Amino acid sequence: MPVAGAQTTATLAVPTHDGTTAVSLTLTSPTGAVSTPVPTPVDGGSTWTAPVTYSVAGVWRLSWTVTGTGATSEHQLVSAAPLPGAPGDGRVYATTTDLAAYLSAAPPVEAGRLLERASELLDSDFLLTAIYDVDDAGRPTHPLVASGFRDAVCAQVEFWGEVGEETDISGPLQGAQIGSVNLQFGTGADRTSPSYYAPKLLRALRSIPSEHIQFTVLAGC
């Protein structure tokens, strides 16, 4: 599987061919942009190749058209992966350097993706209606809020490393205490099941002084 930015050689076999055979290629990107790499014959025309650059991650469509002897059309789908550790478009509250310091160890190679996912979890499950000062990119401006968010996402990544990234034994967040907001974890009457959220994530959020952030509703509801 190619990665975004990689230049590869696309190949088409043309078993029936002669001097009248011609091949063209239309390349459609995941965004819908169209380009036309120029194929050239090899092995006397039994194979045609074209240089292709998969500039972005996603599914690309290669549409080959053969005219003359052996006339046909063929479509191929190629999936291009993102560069390892490449950041997405969302807010990320900690860097891989932050995570290494938090763990006092080398972070996992997929640390960038995990930090992004943990930041998305923080945004959707805890901060959706929280009130705090932000910059134009939506990131907290007060250093205590920023450090609390940083430690929270690092704690969640550490937790996933211990219990598995897809672990979700307890169902939705049901209760715990962050400032004036009561949040409860677990399932069943006793709520003793392990939580999907790292316990240290909650402690990191509790450490933020209430004058700098206000949780206005029950998170996770």
Do 101 and 175 belong together in one domain?
yes
Is residue 90 in some structural domain?
A: no
- Residues of the domain holding 161: 96-206
pLDDT confidence of 220, banded at 50, 70, 90?
very low
Do 71 and 141 belong together in one domain?
no
Domain boundary among 56, 80, 104: 80
Do 161 and 134 belong together in one domain?
yes
Do 106 and 43 belong together in one domain?
no
Domain boundary among 80, 112, 129: 80
Is residue 22 in some structural domain?
A: yes
Do 110 and 151 belong together in one domain?
yes
Q: Domain count of the chain?
A: 2
Q: Is the pTM of this model over 0.85?
A: no
Pick from 178, 190, 169, 167: which is nearest to 217 by CA?
178
Residue 194, pLDDT score: 47
d(CA 199, CA 176): 10
Pick from 206, 198, 201, 200: which is nearest to 181 by CA?
206
Sign of CA dihedral 120, 198, 98, 213: positive
Neighbours of 10 (CB within 10 A): 18
Is residue 69 in some structural domain?
A: yes
Q: What is the CA radius of gyration of the chain?
A: 26
pLDDT confidence of 166, banded at 50, 70, 90?
low
**Domain holding 22: CATH number?**
2.60.40.10
Do 199 and 104 belong together in one domain?
yes
Pick from 7, 136, 159, 163: which is nearest to 80 by CA?
7
Is residue 199 in some structural domain?
A: yes
Domain boundary among 29, 47, 80: 80
Per the model's pLDDT, the better-predicted residue between 220 and 118 turns out to be 118
Do 23 and 76 belong together in one domain?
yes
Do 108 and 195 belong together in one domain?
yes
Do 134 and 190 belong together in one domain?
yes
d(CA 9, CA 29): 16
Is residue 212 in some structural domain?
A: no
Is residue 102 in some structural domain?
A: yes
Q: What is the pLDDT of residues 30-43, one digit of tens each?
A: 999 999 999 999 99
d(CA 200, CA 153): 9
3-state secondary structure the chain: CCECCEEEEEEEECCCCCCCCEEEEEEECCCCCEECCCCEEEHHHCEEEEEEEECCCEEEEEEEEEECCCCEEEEEEEEEECCCCCCCCCCCCCCHHHHHHHHCCCCCCCHHHHHHHHHHHHHHHCCCCCECCECCCCCECCHHHHHHHHHHHHHHHHHHHHHCCCCCCCCCCCEEEECCEEEECCCCCCCCCCCCCCHHHHHHHHCCCCCCCECCCCCCC
| Mean pLDDT for the stretch of residues 95-120 | 91
Is residue 194 in some structural domain?
A: yes
Give the mean pLDDT of the chain.
84
Do 101 and 71 belong together in one domain?
no
Tokens of 141: 């401006």
Q: Give me the residue label for tokens 């891989």.
A: 96
Is residue 220 in some structural domain?
A: no
